[in-house]
């Protein structure tokens, strides 16, 4: 029997049996929880880090930007490597790199060394995020995929919600390096559990270095141009980098058309369900970006709340996401994702409109129920949408689909942040305009989601 035949015989036919399924999902949850938590922790600690390393607040922003840039330029290459080497192997490599990067962050002695460490950490997080949804497809049986993606959304939402609290708690008893050092024992624990992850079939394709270079240049410059808008760079810089990004991405798409298993999965975008699911995902995260960047300014500068009060006021959104995501995940095993996702994004759009029309002096309860409504809609959408996106791709192309899940999230969030900057530059009521834009994105996503009810993809 050939090595390829032996490998296929070892593949799980339809998910893992219990209790191995539990431990495999725990491995995924620990790692993705760390990667999600780390972003929120770093944002909260930027002023402390800047003061301790004797650098300016503007320079400290690179602690966040370096991490995000490493993520966006490597997500699709890592998802392609997952199909070539196996998702479990890429996941474990990402876990090791992320843990080592966390240790380097904890021992950084200057801002350049910390930025370098954050790049390493970002590449590790990319290895995790690029294939985690693909792994879930092999961990859970097809009839329970929604539960798997619901659990994944729950972990991300909880990590996001508790990030500022965890950061504040650590900083109250220890120095900022411990924000990163706490990842190390959890990373080691996840490595110990990694043997429970399922083996996956390897494609036998070769890694396309030219596609990886075009991907890194195109998406990297696109993120840079959107970030330049958010940081009020000159129009010439923003336009030049955006134009070059579009040229490189067009070249990337052109190259992918002739490749059987492209790094940018243009083959999967020919499937209507996949294309519509990716579009709705970007719309939902653009809405989230518009809300979470504009609302802190509104709460603090317009309503006069403190940073601590602002953090507490924003908490209902991720908390309700954490409640709704598992419920929606279970429902997606029985009802169409187009229906559930459309309802969720309708709720999100209504919630954003309610925020945009807040009274001039709202009470805390008037803010909380509106954010809870947004969280309910966002949480009700995410799990069914991930299930639909992943299930519309063949099992052997799960890596490409998984890469698109994370890429759509990053591009949506970055676009939302850049649009907030434009809104503040257009009018003194920039926060309200940003919230109306967010409602528009959610409404457009809802229409696209309902459109999935009238179309069918080829069987995965």
Q: What is the CATH number of the domain that holds 193?
A: 1.20.1250.20
Q: Which helix (H) or strand (E) holds 153?
A: helix 145-173
Q: Which two tokens stand for residue 368?
A: 């909380």
Q: pLDDT tens digits for 126-171? A: 999 888 888 888 898 888 888 888 888 788 777 776 776 777 778 7
161 in any annotated domain: yes
Q: Report the domain count for the chain.
A: 3
Residues 188 and 305 in one domain: no
Residues 240 and 202 in one domain: no
What's the whole-number mean pLDDT along residues 252-272? 85
358 in any annotated domain: yes
What's the whole-number mean pLDDT along residues 343-372? 93
278 in any annotated domain: yes
Q: What is the pLDDT of residue 11?
A: 53
Residues 185 and 244 in one domain: no
**Which range among 12-26, 217-231, 277-291 shows the weakest confidence by mean pLDDT?**
217-231
Residues 233 and 105 in one domain: no
| Cα–Cα dist 403/408, whole Å | 9
Residues 339 and 226 in one domain: no
197 in any annotated domain: yes
**Which range among 7-16, 135-144, 221-230, 307-316 shows the weakest confidence by mean pLDDT?**
7-16
347 in any annotated domain: yes
Contacts 24+ apart (CB under 8 A), 9-14: 10/199, 11/138, 11/198, 11/199, 11/200, 11/201, 12/138, 12/198, 12/199, 14/141, 14/142
What's the whole-number mean pLDDT along residues 257-280? 86
Residue 19: asked if its preceding bond is cis (omega within 30°), the reply is yes
Residues 277 and 352 in one domain: yes
Query: Which of 258, 291, 321 finishes a domain?
Result: 258
Residues 311 and 252 in one domain: no
What's the whole-number mean pLDDT along residues 62-91? 86
Residues 215 and 326 in one domain: no
| Cα–Cα dist 430/446, whole Å | 24
Residues 227 and 126 in one domain: no
**Which range among 103-107, 148-152, 369-373 shows the weakest confidence by mean pLDDT?**
148-152
32 in any annotated domain: yes
| Cα–Cα dist 47/44, whole Å | 8
What's the whole-number mean pLDDT along residues 210-230? 82
Using the 8-state DSSP alphabet, how is residue 394 labeled? -
Range of the domain at 116: 12-206
Residues 240 and 331 in one domain: no
How many other CB atoms are found less than 10 A from the CB of residue 458? 12
Residues 226 and 348 in one domain: no
Residues 198 and 281 in one domain: no
283 in any annotated domain: yes
Q: How many residues does the chain have?
A: 460
2 in any annotated domain: no
End-to-end CA distance of the chain: 27
Q: What is the pLDDT of residue 2?
A: 39
Using the 8-state DSSP alphabet, how is residue 203 labeled? -
Could you tell me where the DSSP H helices lie in 315-397? Answer: 316-332, 337-356, 364-391
Query: Which of 226, 258, 290 finishes a domain?
Result: 258
Using the 8-state DSSP alphabet, how is residue 260 labeled? S
């Amino acid at each position: 029997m050939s090595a390829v035949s032996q490998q296929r015989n070892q593949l799980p036919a339809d998910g893992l049996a219990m209790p191995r399924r539990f431990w495999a999902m725990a491995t995924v949850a620990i790692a993705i929880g760390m990667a999600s938590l780390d972003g929120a922790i770093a944002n909260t600690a930027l002023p402390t880090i800047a003061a301790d390393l004797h650098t300016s607040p503007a320079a400290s922003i690179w602690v966040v930007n370096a991490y995000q840039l490493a993520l966006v330029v490597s997500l699709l290459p890592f998802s392609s490597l997952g199909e070539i080497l196996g998702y479990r192997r890429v996941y474990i490599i990402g876990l090791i790199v992320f843990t080592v990067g966390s240790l380097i962050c904890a021992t950084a002695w200057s801002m350049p060394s910390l930025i370098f460490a954050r790049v390493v950490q970002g590449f590790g997080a990319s290895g995790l995020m690029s294939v985690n949804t693909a792994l879930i497809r092999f961990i859970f049986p097809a009839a329970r995929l929604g539960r798997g993606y619901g659990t994944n959304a729950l972990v991300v939402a909880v990590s996001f919600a508790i990030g500022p609290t965890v950061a504040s708690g650590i900083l109250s008893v220890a120095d900022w390096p411990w924000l990163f050092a706490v990842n190390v024992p959890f990373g080691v624990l996840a490595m110990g559990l990694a043997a429970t992850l399922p083996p996956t079939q390897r494609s036998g394709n070769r890694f396309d270095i030219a596609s990886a270079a075009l991907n890194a240049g195109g998406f990297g410059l696109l993120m840079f141009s959107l970030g330049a808008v958010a940081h009020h760079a000159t129009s010439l810089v923003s336009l030049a980098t955006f134009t070059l990004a579009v040229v490189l991405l067009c070249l990337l798409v052109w190259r992918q058309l002739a490749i059987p298993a492209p790094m940018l999965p243009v083959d999967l975008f020919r499937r209507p369900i996949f294309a519509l699911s990716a579009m709705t995902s970007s719309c939902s995260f653009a809405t989230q970006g518009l809300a979470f960047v504009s609302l802190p300014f509104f709460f603090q500068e317009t309503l006069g709340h403190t940073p601590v009060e602002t953090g507490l006021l924003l908490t209902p959104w991720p908390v309700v996401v954490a409640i709704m995501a598992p419920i929606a995940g279970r429902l997606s095993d029985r009802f169409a994702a187009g229906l559930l996702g459309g309802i969720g994004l309708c709720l999100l759009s209504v919630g954003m409109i309610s925020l945009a029309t807040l009274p001039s002096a709202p009470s805390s309860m008037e803010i909380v129920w509106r954010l809870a409504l947004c969280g309910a809609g966002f949480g009700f959408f995410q799990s069914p949408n991930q299930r639909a996106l992943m299930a519309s791709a063949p099992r052997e192309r799960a890596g490409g689909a998984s890469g698109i899940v994370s890429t759509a999230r990053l591009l949506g969030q970055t676009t939302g942040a850049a649009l907030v900057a434009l809104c503040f530059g257009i009018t003194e009521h920039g926060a309200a305009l940003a919230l109306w834009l967010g409602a528009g994105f959610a409404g457009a996503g809802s229409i696209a989601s309902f459109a999935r009810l009238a179309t069918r993809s080829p069987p995965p």
